[in-house]
Amino acid sequence: MSPSRRDFIRFVVAGSVAAGCPIDAALLAASDAKPGGAPLVHGERFAVCHQIRDGHRFESPEATRTAGIVIVGGGVAGLSAAYFLRGKDWLLLEKEDHFGGNAYQEEFDGQPYGTGSAYAERGDYGDQLASAIGLHLPFVNSPDPTIVNKTFVPDSWKTGLDQLPYPNGVRESFKKFRDDMRKINVRGKMAELDSQPFTNFTGAYAPEVQQWWDGFGPSNWGATAEDTSALVGVANVQYLLSGGDSKRVILPGGLGSLTHKLVKVLQPKYKDRMLDNAAVVAVVQEKDSVRVTYLHAGKPMTVTAKLVLMCTPKHITSRIVMGLPYEQKAAMRRIRYAPYPVVNIIFDKPVYNRGYDNWCPGNTFTDFIVADWTVQKNPGYKQKHNILSFYTPLRENQRATLLEEQDCKSLAARVLVDFQKLMPELNVDPVEVRIYRRGHPMFMAVPGQYTKNRLIAAHPMDRIFFGNSDSGGPESLTSEAVRLSKAGSEWAELLLAGKPGARDLAEKALLAIPE
Ligand SMILES: Cc1cc2nc3c(=O)[nH]c(=O)nc-3n(C[C@H](O)[C@H](O)[C@H](O)COP(=O)(O)OP(=O)(O)OC[C@H]3O[C@@H](n4cnc5c(N)ncnc54)[C@H](O)[C@@H]3O)c2cc1C
């Protein structure tokens, strides 16, 4: 890209290395300066998390507040738990200055777009919750295209297989892979499949087959075929072949539209129970209560709760919950997370509106989504800006890229250049490029995580329930975060009412396998 062209674009490095405790805080100091188009950097407050990681002991003052249930973490899991527990005495603590976690929407000139979680499926727990709070998620209604070798291939895994711009032998290899994967009985062989890498199933075909999945995997579950559980890989092949993707529903903003609405629904009634800027530093289960210490705007505070729902990812949970059994703490720490920035590129005219989620093997990004896809056909709708969200998952050893503002800008620039080279008509300059960086947002669906490790990591304590999407699976899903929060709220209600069955209910929820 020429310097003049680069100057033309306003790069905005917005967002955070979310949940990014195990990295150097000093490099992430937030700066809001943006005079004259200089980059705007929004950063999470990592100092506290890093201190926790480094073993710092925070002062734990006398409790000044009590609550029936403390919910730690205000992503979709924490917000939905608060929603399910309306009417009960809860307190929600979120370390950021906003709620939403990895399902968080931003706006450009009033137009919402996603910075993380993209879509739900009709009837899943996220969609059910959306309906309950008055949010109708329209169907995507578009099979995924692939753009490769400057060719647009509609419906990648159905009619598209005959149109892939590869030599005939490669196309035949794609079809053989499709036919072989179809025959596998996934439900009947869950444990066996989950004990091996997906490469055991992709290795026998043309390299282009694995290359396709080396994009789809990191985008959807944080891992290339080599690091993917064959259970997740094969199940996803069958999902695409059987048209499972036709159930996708969403609004502009991705599933950030859901958390945005949850906040709108909860805040008018429960504002004083929803604390942002409240980083929890210690959760200590005692005989009849749990002490939760948090830094609220920097000041240590303690609340005594009867019960706690932990809705933070396990790499953080393992560091703030005291007294975890050794095996459980080890299982939490074994969970691997992918660094995962999302680049939003904003055009002031229509540039690309041919497909919703577009797969682009061999580029800096894996796929990109048209932000307003599901509302484009609404009567009277006029697309003001064409906002495209580029999914740019990184390998674990590339996490440091996110520490430096300059590296983030270079990454965003590479995303733009790669997009502009996809097809000649896409060589258009945007009005703005934004990158939302997150260090550990998506747990990786590695072999053993779903059928083994997760069950040890998420086992409830007497008074502490372990929610968050990383308690579920097989991949990181908003619907799983919501499902487990529903179970967590029922677990809490049983315990508060002194009724039996709470532990069984929690264990059943962990063992339940999503359709
Ligand atoms: C790029 C991307 C695309 C995705 N696409 C999809 C998709 O299309 N469909 C889908 O279903 N899922 C998708 N996912 C996964 C989905 O986003 C997650 O599964 C879901 O958002 C997790 O929600 P959660 O509440 O469990 O966890 P989180 O979102 O991680 O929320 C945890 C919250 O806890 C807060 N927190 C952390 N530490 C502390 C502390 N010490 N004290 C207080 N608060 C703390 C965090 O700030 C955060 O708000 C995607 C994820 C990413 C990153």
**Residue 49 confidence (pLDDT):** 73
Beta strands per DSSP E along 83-237 = 90-93, 105-108, 111-114, 120-121, 146-148, 151-153
pLDDT at 27 over 90: no
Alpha carbon dihedral 211, 399, 313, 475, in 10-degree steps, equals 0
Cβ distance 491 to 502 under 8 Å?
yes
Q: Which of 220, 183, 224, 189 is nearest to 203 (CA)?
A: 224
CA distance 89 to 273: 9
Q: Tokens 């053993």: give the residue.
A: 448
Query: Residue holding tokens 């917000």?
Result: 79
Tallying the residues shown for the chain, one arrives at: 515
What is the 281 CA–ligand 1 centroid distance (Å)? Answer: 19
Could you report the per-residue pLDDT of 70-122, keeping only the tens digit for each? 999 999 999 999 999 999 999 999 999 999 999 999 999 999 999 999 999 99
Average pLDDT, the chain: 91
103 Cβ closer than 6 Å to some ligand 1 atom: yes
Amino acid sitting at position 93: L
Query: What is the CA(436)–ligand 1 centre distance, in A?
Result: 13
154 within 8 A of 160, measured Cβ to Cβ? yes
Q: How confident is the model over 369-397, as a mean pLDDT? A: 97
Query: Could you give the 3-state DSSP secondary structure of residue 150?
Result: coil
pLDDT tens-place string over residues 301-319: 999 999 999 999 999 999 9
8 Å CB contact between 420 and 395:
no
Ligand 1 pocket residue status of 17, Cβ below 6 Å:
no
Question: Can you tell me the distance from the alpha carbon of 72 to that of 57, in angstroms, rounded to the nearest whole number?
Answer: 19
Task: Looking at 335-440, list the stretches that DSSP marks H as alpha helix, in order from N- to C-terminal side.
Answer: 405-422
pLDDT digits (tens, 9 = 90+) for 262-291: 999 999 999 999 999 999 999 999 999 999
With cut-offs at 50, 70 and 90, classify the pLDDT of residue 46: low
* Mean pLDDT confidence for 419-431: 96
**Distance set, CA 119 to CA 104, 139, 220, 247, 348 (Å):** 12, 10, 11, 10, 24
Is residue 73 lining ligand 1, measured as CB closer than 6 Å? yes
CA of 477 to the centre of ligand 1 (A): 9
- Nearest-CA neighbor of 140 among 259, 258, 245? 245
- What does the alpha-carbon distance between residue 351 and residue 266 come to, in Å, rounded to a whole number? 38
Contact predicate 142/358, CB 8 Å: no
Q: 102 near 440, Cβ under 8 Å?
A: no
* Helix axes of 168-182 and 230-241: crossing angle, nearest 10 degrees: 100
Nearest ligand 1 atom to the CA of 49 is 41
Confidence of residue 436 (pLDDT cuts 50, 70, 90): very high
For 458-492, how does the pLDDT look when each residue is reduced to its tens digit (9 = 90+)? 999 999 999 999 999 999 999 999 999 999 999 99
Q: Quick check: 429 and 1 in contact, CB under 8 A? A: no
Task: Map residue 497 onto helix, strand or coil.
Answer: coil
Q: Which of 469, 470, 483, 515 to mutate to test ligand 1, by most ligand atoms within 8 A of the CB atom?
A: 469
pLDDT above 70 as % of the chain: 91
Contacts of residue 135, Cβ cutoff 8 Å, sequence gap at least 6: 251, 257, 258, 261
DSSP 8-state class, residue 453: I
Would the CB of 52 count as within 6 Å of ligand 1? Answer: no
Closest CA to 411 of 393, 425, 427: 393
The torsion region of residue 105 among left (phi > 0), alpha (psi -120 to 50) and beta comes to beta
Handedness of CA 510, 232, 456, 76 (dihedral sign): negative
Q: What angle do CA 135, 141, 145 make, to 5 degrees?
A: 130
Q: Is 481 in the pocket of ligand 1 (CB under 6 A)?
A: yes
Q: What is the DSSP letter of 1?
A: -
> Which pLDDT band holds residue 405 (cuts at 50, 70, 90)?
confident
pLDDT of residue 459: 96
Ligand 1 midpoint to CA 327 (Å): 24
| Angle CA 193–195–200, to nearest 5 | 65
Of 385, 350, 411, 403, the residue nearest 11 (C-alpha): 411
pLDDT-based confidence at residue 32 (cuts at 50, 70, 90): very low
- Distance of alpha carbon 369 from alpha carbon 388, whole angstroms: 6
Protein residue with least CA distance to atom 26, ligand 1: 468
* Distance between CA atoms of residues 395 and 384, nearest Å: 35
Answer whether 477 contacts ligand 1 (Cβ < 6 A): yes
* Integer Cα distance of 111 and 429 in angstroms: 19
**Closest approach atom of ligand 1 to CA 294:** 42
Q: How far is the CA of 305 from the centre of ligand 1 (A)?
A: 24
Instruction: Calculate how far, in angstroms, residue 312's C-alpha sits from the geometric centre of ligand 1.
Output: 8
Residue 92 CA to ligand 1 center (angstroms) comes to 15
Q: Check pLDDT > 70 for residue 20.
A: no
Q: Is the CB of 307 under 6 A from ligand 1?
A: no
Rounded-to-integer distance, Cα 85 and Cα 305, Å: 15
Tell which wins on pLDDT, 158 or 16: 158
Q: Which amino acid is at 470?
A: D
For residue 372, pLDDT over 70 is answered with: yes
